[in-house]
Amino acid sequence: MRRIFYSVRMRAGRQSRHISGAEGIFSGKDEISQAARLYVERALSHPKGRPEAVSLKVELLDKKPLIITSLPVSTLEVNGMEDSRRKAAEMLLWLGISQRAVKTAFRILAGPGMRGAALVDIKTGRRMESDKKRGTRASRIGITKKALQILAGRLEERGIDNIRVKEALIVASKVMACPFIEAEFCISDNPDYTTGYIASRQTGYLRLPDIKRKGSPKGGRVFFVKEGARAAIITDFMEKTPVLVGKIAPVKGIIPFYEIKADNNRKPGRKEGLPAKDRARNGPA
């Protein structure tokens, strides 16, 4: 018998301003009911305040989710906010992102919040999303029960077993399953959370402590798009293709900046796509 999956998504806001969101992919009435209850409770107790409206959507998925492996996790060694931001910029440049695109990303993340992510051309720094207020959402994502248990155990060993890391890792893993994205740069818009991340196939999920001041509501996501890629195809994959994390990659501790480069045999600025077999498995149709 074919297993049936549902996407459960929550969005909460006040005066047209996004406050919180959560989502997952589940199978079975009990799983769906539990997720819905937890998502609503989360919306009503968010650090940004009580919302005026909470939207909960339960949707039957019309196709089987892609099963992917999570990105490896590590934490960059930094010394305060200025050092964290400087090293983040250097890492993006090392990954082949142009200086213009990096500047665009920092400007976006310091501006008014977006509901989704900005799409930025890695060479020109041009924004590509059609709706710059809404952006592009990485949606229809989740993690299997077994993978979640393994992930929690590995994160706990490093002292970072919290919901923010788990959810951000799931999002980043789907983003990097798209062969047209070179990297993702994220700074949380939660005033109480000051750790951001860079995600790429070379660095994995690289946590950036102290990337902003505590209490700041500024933040968001930027997806760096490879040259020649079409925004419509990326958006279709991000928003419509269901993806489940089914395997968990290693979780490392704090790593100095130079070790990340030394441990990676990829040359700075070299642009690589996924192998053909990975494009077929993880990329959009």
Tell me the pLDDT tens digit for each residue of 142-151: 999 999 999 9
Dump pLDDT digits (tens) for 79-114: 999 999 999 999 999 999 999 999 999 999 998 777
The pLDDT score that the predictor gives to residue 214 is 92
- Are 78 and 127 in the same domain? yes
Nearest Cα neighbor of 101 from 84, 118, 78, 83 is 118
Distance (Å, whole) CA 73 – CA 254: 10
- 260 domain-assigned: yes
- Are 150 and 268 in the same domain? yes
- 197 domain-assigned: yes
**Bridge partners (DSSP) listed for residue 110:** none
- Report which DSSP code applies to 2: P
| pLDDT exceeds 80 at position 15 | no
**How would you label 151-168 residue by residue, b for 16+ Cβ within 10 Å and e otherwise?**
beebbeebebeeeebbbb
- Are 275 and 142 in the same domain? yes
Residues near 47 by beta carbon (within 8 Å), at least 6 away in sequence: 190, 191, 192
Residue type, 140: R
Of 46-50, 115-119, 167-171, 249-253, where does mean pLDDT reach its minimum?
46-50
- 29 domain-assigned: yes
Q: Is 219 left (phi over 0), alpha (psi -120 to 50) or beta?
A: left
Distance (Å, whole) CA 180 – CA 271: 11
The whole model's pTM is what? Answer: 0.86
Q: Which of 63, 88, 111 is the last residue of a domain?
A: 63
| pLDDT exceeds 80 at position 284 | no
- 49 domain-assigned: yes
- Are 22 and 124 in the same domain? no
The pLDDT score that the predictor gives to residue 141 is 96
Nearest Cα neighbor of 21 from 29, 11, 33, 35 is 11
- 1 domain-assigned: no
- Are 121 and 229 in the same domain? yes
- Are 55 and 150 in the same domain? no
- Are 114 and 11 in the same domain? no
- Are 168 and 207 in the same domain? yes
Round the average pLDDT of the chain to a whole number and report it.
88
- Are 201 and 259 in the same domain? yes
Helix or strand or coil: residue 43?
Answer: helix
- Are 117 and 33 in the same domain? no
Q: Which of 38, 63, 88 is the last residue of a domain?
A: 63
Distance (Å, whole) CA 223 – CA 226: 10
- Are 272 and 188 in the same domain? yes
- For β-strands 251-255 and 73-76, DSSP reports them as parallel
Structure-token pair, residue 47: 């650090």
The model's confidence at residue 264, banded by pLDDT at 50, 70 and 90, is low
Bigger pLDDT: 283 or 82? 82
- Are 243 and 197 in the same domain? yes
Q: Which domain holds residue 209?
A: 67-282
User: Looking at the 3D structure of the chain, how many domains does it have?
Assistant: 2
The pLDDT score that the predictor gives to residue 269 is 42
The pLDDT score that the predictor gives to residue 45 is 80
